[in-house]
């Protein structure tokens, strides 16, 4: 049974926060903790990647840039299992409020972006109890990166997705990598249960005609209307490859285009698609 689709029957309450790095979730959760303590309650705080043994192994692997997406995913799953056993279930059983900085949904977004199979990741975390409340902090990429860099000199390699070779510049890589994670969070709000309707897709003929690949209409139509548990970033990646677009277009939104950050030769086509009645 997938516990994430079922309400837990423990006397305590589980409150979690999710969001990309620099979204402000950790700050807000600490404020909640202080508020509850001021009210005479004793909330229990737990955070992602906090098991000492797993944290040490992860840190060593990161330093050597030796973590494959699968290894990284399994290490975080091991850490989560340790947190659940020692830091989440005991206080829930004792009737306490547990405040969790990141939960299984972090893996659902981040591990998939790194290339892990979505259904496999979901099965790895199927033992996790469903939170009583989940708060998602959705902020623009530029805001998150400015917040991080205001507190330290540079971005960390893995938070910037440097292991994925998305861009040579850490800030540019961060924007692409975290942008895809943001899209994973935003693309399928029903990933924790429900959501059985397939996507309605778009106009494959118009897309292919605009990008000069009319012969690929059938394949583009298949991708647009396929269900197959795809998050939208996966769908966008397949579409970009099918139509011969550079990988950077997968993470581009209207904000990036408006700020002049899209490749100049793509802007007219992107604007045409944006204005088209798809």
| pLDDT tens, position by position, 152-208 | 888 988 889 998 899 999 999 999 999 999 888 876 544 444 444 444 456 778 777
Residues 6+ apart with CB under 8 A from 139: 19, 20, 22, 23, 24
Q: Rounded mean pLDDT of 67-74?
A: 89
| pLDDT tens, position by position, 105-116 | 999 999 999 999
Mean pLDDT of the chain: 80
The structure's pTM equals: 0.67
- pLDDT bracket for residue 41 (50, 70, 90): very high
E-assigned strands of the chain? 13-19, 44-47, 97-101, 133-137
Q: Rounded mean pLDDT of 73-86?
A: 93
pLDDT at 250: 55
DSSP state of 96: P
Rounded to a whole number of angstroms, the CA Rg of the chain reads 20
pLDDT at 119: 87
Q: How far apart are CA 149 and CA 116, in angstroms?
A: 29
Please, where are the H alpha helices in 7-51?
Answer: 25-38
Q: Rounded mean pLDDT of 39-68?
A: 85
| pLDDT tens, position by position, 81-107 | 999 999 999 999 999 999 999 999 999
Find the range with the poorest average confidence among 75-79, 134-138, 257-261. 257-261
pLDDT at 264: 53
The burial class, CB within 10 Å (0-12 / 13-18 / 19+), for 13 is: middle
Taken in order of first residue, the domains within the chain and their CATH numbers are: 3-187 (3.40.50.300), 204-275 (no CATH)
Residues 6+ apart with CB under 8 A from 59: none
Q: How far apart are CA 230 and CA 117, in angstroms?
A: 10
| pLDDT tens, position by position, 197-239 | 444 456 778 777 767 788 988 888 888 776 444 455 566 778 7
């Amino acid at each position: 049974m997938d516990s994430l689709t079922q309400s837990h029957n423990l006397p305590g309450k589980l409150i979690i926060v999710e969001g990309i790095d620099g979204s402000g979730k950790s700050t807000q959760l600490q404020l909640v903790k202080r508020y509850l303590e001021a009210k005479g309650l004793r909330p229990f705080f737990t955070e992602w990647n906090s098991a000492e043994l797993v944290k040490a192994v992860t840190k060593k692997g990161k330093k050597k840039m030796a973590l494959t997406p699968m290894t990284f995913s399994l290490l975080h799953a091991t850490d989560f299992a340790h947190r659940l056993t020692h830091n989440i279930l005991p206080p829930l059983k004792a009737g306490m409020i547990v405040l969790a900085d990141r939960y299984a949904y972090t893996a659902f977004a981040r591990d998939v972006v790194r290339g892990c199979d979505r259904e496999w990741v979901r099965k790895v975390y199927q033992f996790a109890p469903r939170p009583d409340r989940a708060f998602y902090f959705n902020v623009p990429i530029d805001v998150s990166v400015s917040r991080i860099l205001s507190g330290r000199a540079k971005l960390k390699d893995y938070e910037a997705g440097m292991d994925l070779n998305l861009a040579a510049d850490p800030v540019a890589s961060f924007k692409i990598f975290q942008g895809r994670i943001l899209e994973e969070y935003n693309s399928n709000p029903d990933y924790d249960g429900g959501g059985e309707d397939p996507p309605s897709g778009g106009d494959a003929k118009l897309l292919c005609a605009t990008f000069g690949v009319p012969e690929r209409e059938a394949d583009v139509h298949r991708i647009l209307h396929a269900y197959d548990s795809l998050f939208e970033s996966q769908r966008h990646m397949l579409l970009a490859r099918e139509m011969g677009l550079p990988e950077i277009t997968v993470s581009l939104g209207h904000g990036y285009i408006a700020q002049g950050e899209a490749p100049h030769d793509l802007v007219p086509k992107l604007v045409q698609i944006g204005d088209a009645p798809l």
